[in-house]
């Protein structure tokens, strides 16, 4: 935005402010500036400053600086505008960055703490706010509400700290989403008109914001459960057969769009060890994922995400290939990724790296069958978000908290439209709210059982 335009609109924007105690940025989730007077970025909303590591509305302060005014104040960092220097991922996308802290999750945790009477438990919960987790763009509305706001927040943090700040988003709104489950079905149906909406109202909008905020690193976790369903459930589940075309077309489209952006790294979801771990499933998966990646050319994919929103331990030495695991040779996530690395590499996939979700697998849960996925009792927060966490596994980019602990997997209300029978099983905690809603009891159990401890 040219400076001449900034100066032209300054007086008009200042006139809109009726009181120094309120400002337009509050409607967007940002505070009014208290002392910062320098305009660091201008967009359609107005004149932005940076104060205490956060964007704020400068029109509430007493002056707006220009090129000749005194620019000395408590925050003398230089803000890189979204259209500034292009960031380019090089090597591990998680390495060398600060991780953006999800403000929505921080607010959820604050509300959870307010319900706790146990001070020791509350102290553990406070520590949860120190760690990053993914921001789920799981509907058109949530994408519009959260994507740009959090990109802007991460940019403010990056500008304030002088260090690159990585934000992780989950792209999750395919037509016919979660075709084999009921608890997390999406808003878009498996038909041509909703496919067009997915492209124009969802993927294209995400692409536009990513292109604008190109000076900061971004990771996208792509459509959890979708391609894994294409490996195992097309023949057994009519809804998955109906969704097949849209899952494949949707992936091709988004890879073409996002895979050419140099500051964006994508990981396609590959389920978990007790979904695709068997030899025949891994063989099928190698073909499916290889074809999907090729369909998105010239876009590129960094790798794959495993155990998203699941509970399978990273290592479980008590399990081996045998009747207890239904002869699965990969009964934990470590062995699963070791096998998938070999299979995907042999299939000719050029970039085979992984990010493993450790948000709820710190403790082996109470589930009696490893296929149980809904609100499992005995849950424990797992390894903290970290780049290159395992020596000797150079293809493991990160442990990361993709699924926010405390957000429900699905309702236990049998009368609910989105009730899934798995959420009524013996080891599923009850009563449970709808998928994505806050589940206080599950959160408290997860922090009690954290491994390593909080």
Active site residues: 178, 225, 409
3-state secondary structure of 32: strand
Give the angle 100-104-109 at the CA atoms, nearest 5°: 100
Report which of 331, 333, 329 is spatially closest to residue 355, judged by C-alpha positions: 333
CB neighbours of residue 351 within 10 Å: 15
Question: Across the strands, what pairs with 205?
Answer: none
Sequence-ordered list of residues with C-beta below 8 angstroms from that of 266, at least 6 positions apart, any chain: 219, 220, 222, 255, 258, 259, 300, 301, 302
- Cα separation, 439 vs 404, whole angstroms: 11
DSSP string of 228-286, one letter each residue: HHHHHSTTT-HHHHHHHHHHHHHHHHHHHHHTT-TTEEEEEE---HHHH-SHHHHHHHH
**Distance set, CA 415 to CA 21, 419, 423, 434, 439 (Å):** 47, 7, 12, 12, 19
3-state secondary structure of 327: coil
Q: Max CA-CA distance within the chain?
A: 77
3-state secondary structure of 205: helix
Radius of gyration of the chain (CA): 23
- Cα separation, 331 vs 316, whole angstroms: 7
Give the angle 314-316-320 at the CA atoms, nearest 5°: 125
Whether 151 and 165 have beta carbons less than 8 Å apart is answered as no
- Cα separation, 11 vs 80, whole angstroms: 24
């Amino acid at each position: 935005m040219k400076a001449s335009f900034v100066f032209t609109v300054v007086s008009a924007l200042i006139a809109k402010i009726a009181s120094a105690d309120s400002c337009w940025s509050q409607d967007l989730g940002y505070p009014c500036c208290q002392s910062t007077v320098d305009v660091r970025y201008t967009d359609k909303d107005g004149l932005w400053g940076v104060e205490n590591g956060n964007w704020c509305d400068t029109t509430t302060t007493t002056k707006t600086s220009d090129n000749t005014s005194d620019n000395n104040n408590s925050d003398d960092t230089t803000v890189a505008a979204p259209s500034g220097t292009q960031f380019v991922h090089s090597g591990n996308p998680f390495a060398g960055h600060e991780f953006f802290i999800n403000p929505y999750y921080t607010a959820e945790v604050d509300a959870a703490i307010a319900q706790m009477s146990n001070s020791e438990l509350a102290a553990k919960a406070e520590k949860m706010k120190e760690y990053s987790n993914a921001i789920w763009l799981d509907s058109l509305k949530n994408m519009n509400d959260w994507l740009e706001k959090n990109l802007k927040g991460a940019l403010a943090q990056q500008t304030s700290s002088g260090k690159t700040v990585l934000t992780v988003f989950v792209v999750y709104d395919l037509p016919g989403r979660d075709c084999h489950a009921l608890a997390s079905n999406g808003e878009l149906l498996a038909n041509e008109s909703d496919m067009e909406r997915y492209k124009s109202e969802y993927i294209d909008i995400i692409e536009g914001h990513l292109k604008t905020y190109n000076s900061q690193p971004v990771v996208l976790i792509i459509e959890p459960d979708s391609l894994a369903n294409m490996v195992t459930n097309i023949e057994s589940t009519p809804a998955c057969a109906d969704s097949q075309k849209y899952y494949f077309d949707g992936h091709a489209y988004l890879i073409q769009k996002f895979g050419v952006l140099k500051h964006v790294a994508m990981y396609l979801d590959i389920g978990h060890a007790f979904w695709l771990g068997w030899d025949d499933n891994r063989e099928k998966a190698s073909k499916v994922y290889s074809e999907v990646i090729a369909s998105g050319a010239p876009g590129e994919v960094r790798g794959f995400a495993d155990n998203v929103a699941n509970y399978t331990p990273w290592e479980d030495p008590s399990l081996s290939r045998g009747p207890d695991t239904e002869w699965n040779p990969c009964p934990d996530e470590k062995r699963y990724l070791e096998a998938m690395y070999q299979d995907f590499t042999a299939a000719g996939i050029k970039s085979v790296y992984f990010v493993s979700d450790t948000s709820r697998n710190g403790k082996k849960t109470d589930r009696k069958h490893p296929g149980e996925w809904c609100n499992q009792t005995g849950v424990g927060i797992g390894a903290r978000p970290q780049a290159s966490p395992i020596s000797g596994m150079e293809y493991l980019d990160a442990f990361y908290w993709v699924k926010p602990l405390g957000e429900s997997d699905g309702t236990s209300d049998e009368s609910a439209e989105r009730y899934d029978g798995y959420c009524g099983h013996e080891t599923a905690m009850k009563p449970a709210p709808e998928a994505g809603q806050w589940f206080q009891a599950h959160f408290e159990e997860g922090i009690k059982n954290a491994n390593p401890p909080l």
